[in-house]
């Protein structure tokens, strides 16, 4: 028991790092994903195609590779080359990557709303922007809750990838203790921490789904 309290400190520190990466990525990638999706479904063909290419690139290569690239290779790229410290590099990589996944979720949600909704809004005199903001997107939220729940839970666990930039997230902290003390108990504690985080998320999304259940499509 004493040992448990002893390792709890470093594991909580690791959890703090994990949560920071998780929350910052979520806050940045959701709006970026929405913006990408809106461009993707717009009539600006070239821009829509560029976004399509971007999504292909981000979903088609490993997140870890993207993170390594931004941290190690980006400084040597001409013109846009900047050197980012580890934490910002991780946030940029996670945001760019997750925005691509969120964009696809938003796109499928937007395209699942029937043409009749656009027509009804249009004959009432609403502009495309008003239609999106007031009619389409509010309905999209309900439709994308299940895939968003999936994706955010994956994000919690993906944060463990930042160990490649030598950052002390929850999993790396646990592994450090395991290697030092020759006991696997920190792994069990880390697992419990991840489970608690995903439990909170699951519960939050369940509440949201319940709130949106007041109406049916």
Chain residues that interact with another protein, rule: CB under 8 A = 116-117, 119-127, 130, 134-135, 138-139, 142, 214-217
Q: Taking the CB of residue 135, how many other CB atoms lie within 10 A of it?
A: 18
Instruction: Dig out the tokens for 95 from the structure.
Output: 């945001």
d(CA 71, CA 214): 46
Q: How far is the CB of 121 from another protein (least distance, A)?
A: 8
| Residues whose CB is less than 8 angstroms from the CB of residue 202 and which lie 6 or more positions away in sequence, other chains included | 149, 153
Tokens 């070239």, residue?
A: 46
Our CB check for another protein shows the closer of 118 and 163 to be 118
Radius of gyration (C-alpha) of the chain in whole angstroms: 21
CB of 145 to another protein, least distance (A): 13
Cβ of residue 103: shortest distance to another protein, in angstroms?
22
Give me the least distance between CB of 127 and another protein, in Å please: 7
The token pair that represents 196 in the structure block: 């608690």
| Orientation angle between helical segments 137-158 and 2-40, nearest 10 degrees | 140
Q: Which is nearer to another protein, 42 or 154 (CB)?
A: 42
Cβ closest to another protein, residue 76 vs residue 215: 215
Whichever of 128 and 203 has its CB closer to another protein, that residue is 128
Residue with tokens 């921490």: 193
Nearer to another protein, 119 or 181 (CB): 119
Angle between helices 185-212 and 137-158 in degrees, nearest 10 = 180
Q: Which of 98, 95, 87 is nearest to 169 (CA)?
A: 87
Closest CA to 106 of 62, 158, 55, 47: 55
Nearer of residues 122 and 157 to another protein, judged by Cβ: 122
Distance of closest approach, residue 51 Cβ to another protein, in angstroms: 24
CB of 35 to another protein, least distance (A): 22
């Amino acid at each position: 028991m004493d040992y448990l309290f002893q390792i709890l400190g470093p594991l909580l520190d690791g959890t703090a790092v994990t949560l920071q990466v998780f929350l910052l990525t979520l806050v940045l990638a959701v709006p970026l994903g929405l913006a990408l999706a809106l461009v993707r479904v717009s009539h600006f063909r070239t821009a829509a195609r560029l976004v399509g290419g971007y999504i292909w690139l981000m979903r088609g290569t490993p997140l870890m590779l993207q993170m390594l690239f931004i941290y190690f290779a980006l400084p040597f790229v001409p013109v846009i080359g900047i050197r980012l410290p580890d934490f910002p590099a991780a946030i940029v990589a996670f945001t760019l990557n997750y925005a691509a996944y969120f964009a696809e979720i938003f796109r499928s949600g937007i395209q699942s709303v029937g043409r009749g909704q656009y027509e009804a809004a249009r004959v009432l005199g609403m502009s495309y922007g008003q239609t999106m903001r007031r009619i389409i997107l509010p309905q999209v939220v309900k439709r994308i809750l299940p895939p968003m729940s999936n994706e955010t839970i994956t994000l919690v666990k993906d944060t463990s990838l930042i160990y490649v930039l030598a950052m002390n997230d929850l999993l790396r902290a646990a592994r450090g203790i395991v290697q030092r003390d020759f006991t696997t108990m920190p792994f069990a504690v880390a697992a419990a921490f991840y489970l608690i985080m995903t439990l909170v998320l699951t519960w939050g999304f369940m509440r949201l789904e319940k709130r949106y259940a007041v109406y049916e499509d």
